[in-house]
Amino acid sequence: MRSDGAHRAHSLAIRVVLSTIFLSLVVVSITGSTLYSRLSTGIKQVNLDTAIIEARSTIFSAQYRLAIASGNPADSVRDIFSAVITSATTVGSNESGREVVILQVPGTAIGKSNYEISSNLVSNSSIPEYLRAKVRNSENLESSYVRIEYAGLNTVDGIAVGQRISIPNDGDYEMYVLFSLADQAATLALISNSLYLTGLALIILIGLIIWIVVRQVVKPVRDAVRISQQFTEGDFSQRMQVKSNDEIASLGNAFNAMAESLEKQIARLENLSRVQQRFVSDVSHELRTPLTTLRMASEVIHNARDGFDPVIARSSELLIGQIDRFERLLEDLLEISRFDAEVAVLEAVEFDICGSLERCIADLSLVAKETGIDINLNRPRDSVFINGDIRRVERVIRNLLSNAIDHAEGKPVEVRIMASADDVAIGVRDYGVGIEPRLLNRVFDRFWRADPSRARTRGGTGLGLSIALEDARLHNGELEAWGEPGKGAHFVLYLPRRAGDQLQSRLISLKG
């Protein structure tokens, strides 16, 4: 119970934390990716703008130099191109990776010379055909994202900006300036990593905060669960701690008020029942001394009855009989009060239960004979030793036997005993008046009679079966009854062979 309750309280906290983390994960990823996409778009745009501006100036300067040098021999064109390339590729640092590619527009060759050139072994295929087509058909700068390929080596993302230029007397060329985007990729990677880290830290932080908050809310609930469990176990002293002034505090106050009232009620009831039990016990004890005097006096009178008038002699017999009955009643009441006060003690010894059974049958055989009833015993040949309170066990047996004799109506009473390694069972079966099945659960009630008009032939106290049931239960055994009107009744006492062990089996079937 306890671990279960604690587990439920535990899982509430976990559930809240998990759903909070899930929700914040969603929010953080949405904001994070939006932020990232806006940043990267911005950075790319800036890079593109810069590239176009720089390319324009480079290409313009190349065109300008070519125009100045027109009419010069072919070598000077080459010189101009290499100068342009050198100045363009060394403007920034080397890593800024600026490259220049100059390609001849196909079908425009005028002379034999071909001035196609590229810096740092950038292969011509770095310029995709669609860009070349655009550049050829346009007077303006054209740009595109490309992959810059170094001959036989690596490739890198980049921007290519190109324009058509013409070399006087030597036809048209396309000049491209390529800008590496490696820096941009690194910047974007840095941004995205930072975003991931920040998001993760944020989620962990939110999780922790929620965990702490939930614990604060859940703790009083857990306390309430724990205290309720202690209540269930009979400890009414526990109270919830009330520190604040909120809803949790009013839960605590209400809980404590309930606990207070419960404790008072139970204490009151316990006290009442203790007073009552004490009273029954005291009355029984106080009655014993006068009863002793009464008994001795009646015995003295009874012993002298030979010289009495017959009426007085009979009266003395009745007196003795009633004193006996009174005494049995007193003993039974006292025994019941011990059970009620839970002070009945089991005095377990090792004894042969078959021997006890035979002794009890012998004790009652005189009464049985008077009413013409045979008691048949079916027992194993060997002794059956059990560990139990011999006084109580024999009392149960005697109660069952005299009950059977009272109701047997002249028919025989069958007594059976069965034993296994763990348990014994004693069945007492009569074939007399029987009991209505619906009344079976009442036969163990105190002072209960199946048929109030029926006389108690043996002057039983009406407490015998109640005491027998308590005796059986004190051994951790059971006493069960079966009956049908006209078919008789069957009472079976089940006992563990060691008093206090659990019953393993029902060796005698109750029915029939």
Partner 1 sequence: MTLVMVVDDDQDLAEMLGIVLTGAGIDVDLVSRGDEVLDVFRNNPPDLVLLDVMLPGLDGIEVCKLLRAESMVPIVMLSAKGDTHDVVRGLEAGADDYMVKPFRHPSELIARIRTRLRRTNTDISGLLTIADLVIDVVAHQVSRAGKQIALTRLEFDLLVALAREPGRVFSRDALLSEVWGYRHSTDTRLVNVHVQRLRAKVEHDPEHPEIVVTVRGVGYKAGGQ
Instruction: For residue 183, state whether it binds partner 1 (rule: CB under 8 A).
Output: no
Tracing tokens 């109506």 back to the chain, one arrives at 409
Cβ distance to partner 1 smaller for residue 434 or 464: 464
Which member of 172, 183, 263, 352 binds partner 1 (CB under 8 A)?
Answer: 352
Tokens (6 digits) for 242: 């009330």
Taking the C-alpha atoms of residue 357 and residue 218, their distance in angstroms, rounded to an integer, is 62
CA 107 to chain centre: 84
CA distances from 176 to 98, 157, 330 (A): 11, 15, 124
Rounded least distance, CB 321 to partner 1, Å: 14
How far CA 376 is from CA of 48, 352, 414, 457, in Å, comes to: 116, 19, 5, 21
Residue 354 engages partner 1 in binding (rule: CB under 8 A): no
Q: Segment contacting partner 1 (CB under 8 A): 90-98, 122-130, 295-303, 430-438? A: 295-303
Question: Closest distance between partner 1 and the C-beta of residue 340, in Å?
Answer: 15
- If the CB atoms of residues 157 and 422 are measured against partner 1, the closer one turns out to be 422
Interface with partner 1, residue 297, by CB under 8 A? yes
Take residue 331 and report the two structure tokens written for it.
């003993």
Write down the least CB distance from residue 348 to partner 1, Å. Answer: 12
| 474 binding partner 1? (CB under 8 A) | no
**Residue choice 35, 251, 291, 313 for contact with partner 1 (CB under 8 A):** 291
Angle between helices 390-407 and 353-370 (to 10 degrees): 30
Give the residue, chosen from 270, 350, 436, 451, that forms a contact with partner 1 under the rule CB under 8 A.
Answer: 350
CB of 433 to partner 1, least distance (A): 31
- List 197, 254, 300, 377, residue binding partner 1 (CB under 8 A): 300
| Cβ at position 384, least distance to partner 1 in Å | 11
Residue 259 or residue 499: which is nearer to partner 1 going by CB?
A: 499
Going by C-alpha positions, the residue among 264, 281, 101 that lies closest to residue 176 is 101
Return phi, psi of residue 243, to 5°: -110, -35
Smallest separation, CB 286 to partner 1 (Å): 8
Distances (CA, A) of 417 to 43, 363, 482: 99, 18, 17
Tell me how many residues contact partner 1 (CB under 8 A).
27
Decide whether 347 or 451 has the Cβ nearer to partner 1: 347
Nearer to partner 1 by Cβ, of 58 and 461: the residue is 461
Q: Which of residues 138-167 bind partner 1 (CB under 8 A)?
A: none
Q: How many CA atoms lie within 13 A of 24 on its CB side?
A: 19
At residue 370's C-alpha, the angle toward residues 364 and 371, to 5°, is 95
Tokens encoding 177: 């300036």
CB of 506 to partner 1, least distance (A): 26
**Shortest reach from residue 383's CB to partner 1, in Å:** 8
State the Cα–Cα distance between residues 240 and 36, nearest whole angstrom: 51
Residues with Cβ within 8 Å of residue 247, at least 6 apart in sequence: none
Shortest spacing between CB 334 and partner 1, in angstroms: 8
CB of 294 to partner 1, least distance (A): 8
Q: Convert residues 373-412 into a mask of x (bound to partner 1 by CB under 8 A) and - (unbound).
A: ------------x----xx--x------------------
Using CB under 8 A as the binding rule, whether residue 285 contacts partner 1 is answered as yes
Q: Looking at 3, 154, 310, 345, which residue binds partner 1 (CB under 8 A)?
A: 345
Provide, rounded to whole angstroms, the least separation between the CB of residue 416 and partner 1: 23
DSSP per-residue string spanning 270-335: HHHHHHHHHHHHHHHHHHHHHHHHHHHHHHHHHHTGGGS-HHHHHHHHHHHHHHHHHHHHHHHHHH
Are 174 and 103 spatial neighbours (Cβ–Cβ below 8 Å)? Answer: yes
> Rule CB under 8 A: is residue 327 a binding residue for partner 1?
yes
Phi, psi of 483 (to 5 degrees): -170, 155
- Confirm or reject binding of residue 347 to partner 1 (CB under 8 A): yes
Q: Report the alpha-carbon distance of residue 347 to residue 393 in Å, rounded.
A: 11
Site residues (vs partner 1, CB under 8 A): 285, 288-297, 299-300, 327, 334, 338, 343, 345, 347, 349-352, 385, 390-391, 394
